[in-house]
């Protein structure tokens, strides 16, 4: 959705013109093209999630919620609709394995519609539930911004002669959520409040979400930043050039262990080694209340071609994919790693900050302690 300045600041919305059509920015084309894409069918949703037209744990959660609504709508007149719906919703839930938000959203929907016998009512409830879930996620990100802001303010007050230098990995901005972001929410809020910040943007190989998405988001918002290779963050910390690390989360276990984009663990180790605070910003929809620790989080293995080829803009302005590896070499491509809670200074959630451990998390979310 473009704001009055005609720049996007939201990753998914309900089309104003045609009622109830879900629209997204197709993130595969950023930063080179701003392509808007309609999601009309459950297949559109499954494809959008698995092809990473949408990505980022909170955003794929919301997309999946609307996917359940579209599934009900799509099979409305199908004589064998119950079987189709069950199969399709399972596909949505399994479109990507690591982020828990997908499952959270689907279960929320199934719970909302389970008691209803009127099919039209089911459709309407699913739509309203998805809308409400989206609004909850937007509000969570807004609160994450507010709750994380004091971390940046405190660092700035300690040394007002220079910007607060924040390192982030992958993209946990509004493109990964719906609005504002998780890791970037406090950064945007600091920028709005005229607290000078500078963001070190890890390029985040192999899909370069840092280069392609975070740098683009920050450019659009006018936030000072520098792209760095994923190899660089440790060096910058050794040099005292990083004041704070904030990343997102794809799934956080009860003990604080956090699956996030691969390479996050290496930055957490460097932060620990250099005494740099390392925070994970996440809505509670990214907490897996069923997991005591991160050992059982499934780690997505992706197409080796993502490592062997890379996409960019040619001199003539065309989007091109080039091969960067020797012909005979193969690659292995894992999407996530798990950062142990012991390396995380704290979590920034919609309910406030907490330690990255069972006690800290359950103190913020006491209603979950009976689960």
Q: Which is nearer to its own copies, 275 or 326 (CB)?
A: 326
The answer to whether 371 contacts its own copies (rule: CB under 8 A) is no
Q: Which of residues 22-41 bind its own copies (CB under 8 A)?
A: 31
Q: Which is nearer to its own copies, 57 or 343 (CB)?
A: 343
Contact 361, 351 (CB under 8 A): no
Cα angle 267, 268, 272; round to 5: 115
What is the distance of C-alpha 252 from the center of its chain? 13
Question: CB of residue 2 vs its own copies: minimum separation in angstroms?
Answer: 17
Task: Name 314's Cβ contacts closer than 8 Å, sequence gap at least 6.
Answer: 320
b/e 55-67 (16+ beta carbons within 10 angstroms → b):
bbbbbbbbbbbbb
Question: CB of residue 304 vs its own copies: minimum separation in angstroms?
Answer: 8
Separation in Å, CA 299 to CA 20, 96, 100, 173? 34, 10, 12, 22
Write out the two tokens for 98: 């690591």
Q: 91, 232, 300, 363: which one contacts its own copies (CB under 8 A)?
A: 232
In angstroms, the CA 26 to CA 12 distance is 10
Scanning 64-72, 137-145, 278-286, 300-308 for contacts with its own copies by CB under 8 A, the matching segment is 300-308
Q: Is 250 part of the annotated catalytic residue set?
A: yes
Q: Cβ–Cβ contacts within 10 Å for residue 238, how many?
A: 13
In angstroms, the CA 133 to CA 58 distance is 10
Scanning 56-64, 109-117, 302-310, 347-355 for contacts with its own copies by CB under 8 A, the matching segment is 302-310
Question: CB of residue 227 vs its own copies: minimum separation in angstroms?
Answer: 4
Q: Which of residues 323-352 bind its own copies (CB under 8 A)?
A: 323-334, 336-338
Containing 226, the helix (H) or strand (E) segment is strand 225-228
The answer to whether 233 contacts its own copies (rule: CB under 8 A) is yes
Q: Cβ–Cβ contacts within 10 Å for residue 335, how many?
A: 22
Question: CB of residue 160 vs its own copies: minimum separation in angstroms?
Answer: 23
Scanning 43-51, 92-100, 180-188, 266-274 for contacts with its own copies by CB under 8 A, the matching segment is 266-274
What is the distance of C-alpha 117 from the center of its chain? 35
Scanning 52-60, 79-87, 145-153, 227-235 for contacts with its own copies by CB under 8 A, the matching segment is 227-235
**Ordered DSSP codes for 277-320:** -EEEE--GGGB-TT-SSGGG----B--THHHHEEEEE-TTS-EE
The answer to whether 100 contacts its own copies (rule: CB under 8 A) is no
Q: Which is nearer to its own copies, 83 or 319 (CB)?
A: 319
Write out the two tokens for 360: 């800290």
Site string for its own copies, 187-226 (x = CB under 8 A): --------------x-xxxx-x--xx--xx-xx-----xx
**Strand, coil or helix: 333:** coil
Question: CB of residue 176 vs its own copies: minimum separation in angstroms?
Answer: 17
- Which of 298, 257, 312, 268 has its CA nearest to residue 29? 312
Question: CB of residue 328 vs its own copies: minimum separation in angstroms?
Answer: 4
In angstroms, the CA 244 to CA 199 distance is 10
The answer to whether 270 contacts its own copies (rule: CB under 8 A) is yes
The answer to whether 111 contacts its own copies (rule: CB under 8 A) is no
Question: CB of residue 292 vs its own copies: minimum separation in angstroms?
Answer: 17
Task: Identify the active-site residue in 250, 257, 288, 337.
Answer: 250
Query: Which residues carry out catalysis?
Result: 250
Give me the residues that bind its own copies (CB under 8 A), please: 31, 201, 203-206, 208, 211-212, 215-216, 218-219, 225-236, 238, 261-263, 265-267, 269-270, 273, 299, 304, 307-315, 320-334, 336-338
């Amino acid at each position: 959705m473009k704001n009055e300045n005609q720049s996007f600041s939201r990753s998914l919305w309900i089309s104003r013109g045609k009622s109830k059509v879900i629209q997204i920015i197709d993130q595969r084309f950023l930063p080179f093209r701003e392509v808007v894409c309609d999601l009309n069918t459950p297949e559109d949703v499954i494809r959008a999630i698995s092809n990473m037209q949408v990505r980022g744990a909170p955003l794929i959660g919301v997309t999946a919620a609307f996917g359940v609504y579209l599934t009900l709508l799509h099979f409305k007149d199908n004589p064998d609709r119950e079987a189709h719906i069950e199969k399709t919703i399972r596909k949505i839930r399994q479109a990507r394995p690591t982020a828990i938000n997908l499952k959270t959203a689907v279960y929320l929907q199934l719970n909302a519609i389970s008691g209803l016998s009127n099919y039209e009512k089911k459709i309407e409830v699913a739509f309203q539930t998805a809308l409400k879930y989206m609004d909850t996620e937007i509000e969570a990100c807004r609160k994450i911004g507010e709750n994380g802001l004091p971390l940046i303010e405190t660092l700035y007050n300690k040394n007002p002669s220079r910007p607060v230098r924040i390192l982030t990995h992958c993209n946990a901005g509004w493109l990964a959520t719906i609005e504002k972001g998780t890791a970037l929410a406090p950064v945007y809020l600091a920028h709005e409040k005229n607290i000078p910040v500078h963001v070190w943007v890890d390029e985040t190989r192999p899909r370069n979400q840092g280069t392609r998405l975070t740098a683009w988001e920050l450019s659009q918002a006018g936030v000072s930043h520098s792209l760095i290779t994923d190899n660089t963050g440790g060096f910058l910390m050794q040099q005292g050039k990083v004041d704070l690390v904030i990343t997102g989360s794809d799934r956080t276990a009860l003990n604080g262990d956090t699956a996030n984009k691969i390479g996050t663990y290496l930055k957490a180790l460097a932060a620990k080694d250099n005494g740099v605070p390392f925070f994970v910003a996440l809505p509670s929809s990214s907490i897996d209340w069923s997991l005591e620790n991160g050992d059982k989080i499934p780690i997505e293995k992706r197409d080796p071609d993502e490592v062997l080829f890379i996409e960019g803009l040619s001199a003539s302005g065309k989007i091109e994919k080039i091969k960067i590896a020797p012909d005979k070499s193969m690659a292995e491509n894992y999407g996530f790693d798990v950062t142990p809670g012991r390396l995380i200074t704290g979590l920034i959630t919609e309910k406030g900050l907490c330690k990255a451990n069972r006690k800290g998390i359950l103190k913020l979310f006491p209603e979950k302690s009976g689960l």
